[in-house]
Amino acid sequence: MFRTKRSGLVRRLWRSRAPVEGEGDADTGTRGGTAGCCLASKPNPGTEAELKALTYSILKKIKEKQLEVLLQAVESRGGARSPCLLLPGKADARLGQHSYPLPLLLYKVFRWPDLRHSSELKRLSCCESYGKINPELVCCNPHHMSRLCELESPPPPYSRYPTDFLKPPDSPGSVPASTETGGTAYSAPMGFSDSLALQERGEQPHWCVVAYWEEKTRVGRLYSVQEPSLDIFYDLPQGTGFCLGQLASENKSQLVQMVRAKIGYGIQLSREADGVWVYNRSCYPIFIKSATLDNPDSRTLLVHKVFPGFSIKAFDFEKAGSLQRPNDHEFSQQPRTGFTVQISFVKGWGQCYTRQFISSCPCWLEVIFNNR
């Protein structure tokens, strides 16, 4: 029987759909979700057949070139750059007793089976339609979206650090690599001056610098960031940005090597109008600590777990500025404490772990923001 190219694309897309719980890993709550997010249960055969018929009918109405774009995004799991998939945003599709907008249905099928409402989503800055309002056409590329990590219902406190632990460094001219390293390693002033030298030469000013650490050792030089967004990865098809896989590491620890290999697509760091967002592109959780993620009046700093496919506003410049109070001992002694974000790949740290400090984590990042 003769089969058209369109039919072949539709079949490949259906085979590449996001599995629900019990079928395997998905880019969803099946690999994790924030507290309060319910996981999708395995559908009964009737619902599965209905979903397949509905998906086939929708995909067969999409142009062949658009199907190729969707397939490229889905099969590469967002690793390959793919353009926007502009489709009518007001078109609805009915599944059982529920009616879904066309974009939402495609996001459910190809990324998050447990997705309920568009308010749970955040459009990524890489999307060409980001910040634009088009009442007719909406980008339906599922890998131009991310799930929001809601802090109103925070994940378990993977670590809580009383601010009394934040001791000023012994050297008045040094900047600690981390306020939680236990005083074992320092990254500056030498490292931070690497980035400041760029401005002295008249080059475009940076908005942050990134340091990559393996346990207590910094690997490579500080990476200065001028562009609005940065991909930090170990292995990313068509990847440009900060490639950790190209750094020469002398660490022979099996744990470090295992975690390094799991970084994969890594994270995307993007400066946006409301702050700096971190998008977890990898297949494993990341852990983030930032002073602006917590209540300004709190004496504890939380480490937040961010699952694959989720985004979190990791830093708020306006909020960070308000944290620097003249009578605040922590910020008067360590002026960059509120302008630093720590991110650990795969492994967390804190009271629930054997690793009490981030310097005990196999692979982690320190992001220092420019407050000038």
Quick one: pLDDT at residue 126? 84
Give the residue carrying structure tokens 């000038």: 372
Tally of domains within the chain = 2
Taking each continuous run of H as one helix and of E as one strand, the counts in the chain are 8, 20
What's the pTM value of the predicted model, to 2 decimals? Answer: 0.80
Q: How far apart are CA 230 and CA 236, in angstroms?
A: 13
**Nearest Cα residue to 366 out of 115, 169, 177:** 177
**CATH code at 301?**
2.60.200.10
Residue 119 lies in a domain: yes
Quick one: pLDDT at residue 21? 63
Shared domain check, 244 and 118: no
Residue 228 lies in a domain: yes
Q: Of 148, 174, 198, at which residue does a domain stop?
A: 148
Q: Of 148, 163, 180, at which residue does a domain stop?
A: 148
Q: For 184, how many CA atoms within 13 A lie in the half-sphere containing its CB? A: 12
Residue 279 lies in a domain: yes
Pairing of strands 300-306, 286-290: antiparallel
Residue 159 lies in a domain: no
Domain that holds residue 55: 5-15+47-148
Residue 24 lies in a domain: no
List, in sequence order, the alpha helices (H) in 16-167.
Answer: 45-59, 64-75, 102-110
Residue 359 zone, left/alpha/beta (φ > 0; ψ -120 to 50; rest): alpha
Q: How far apart are CA 250 and CA 270, in angstroms?
A: 30
The Cβ of residue 172 has, within 10 Å, a number of other Cβ atoms equal to: 7
Shared domain check, 225 and 118: no
Shared domain check, 320 and 222: yes
Pairing of strands 241-243, 229-233: parallel
Shared domain check, 225 and 137: no
Shared domain check, 140 and 213: no
Residue 167 lies in a domain: no
Q: How far apart are CA 308 and CA 104, in angstroms?
A: 19
**CATH code at 82?**
3.90.520.10
Phi, psi of 244 (to 5 degrees): -70, -25
Phi, psi of 50 (to 5 degrees): -65, -40
Shared domain check, 249 and 104: no
Shared domain check, 80 and 228: no
Q: How far apart are CA 47 and CA 231, in angstroms?
A: 38
Residue 176 lies in a domain: no
Q: Which pLDDT tens digits describe the chain residue by residue (372 residues)?
A: 446 888 999 999 999 998 876 555 555 443 333 332 333 345 554 578 888 999 999 998 899 999 999 999 999 999 988 999 998 877 777 776 777 888 999 999 999 999 989 899 999 988 887 666 666 888 999 999 999 987 644 444 444 433 333 333 333 333 333 434 333 333 333 334 444 544 455 566 899 999 999 999 999 999 999 999 999 999 988 778 999 999 999 888 999 999 999 999 999 999 999 999 999 999 999 999 998 887 766 666 789 999 999 999 999 988 887 775 444 444 444 445 568 999 999 999 987 788 989 999 999 999 999 876
Pairing of strands 92-95, 98-101: antiparallel
Please tell me whether the peptide bond between 172 and the residue prior to it is cis, using omega within 30 degrees of 0.
Answer: no
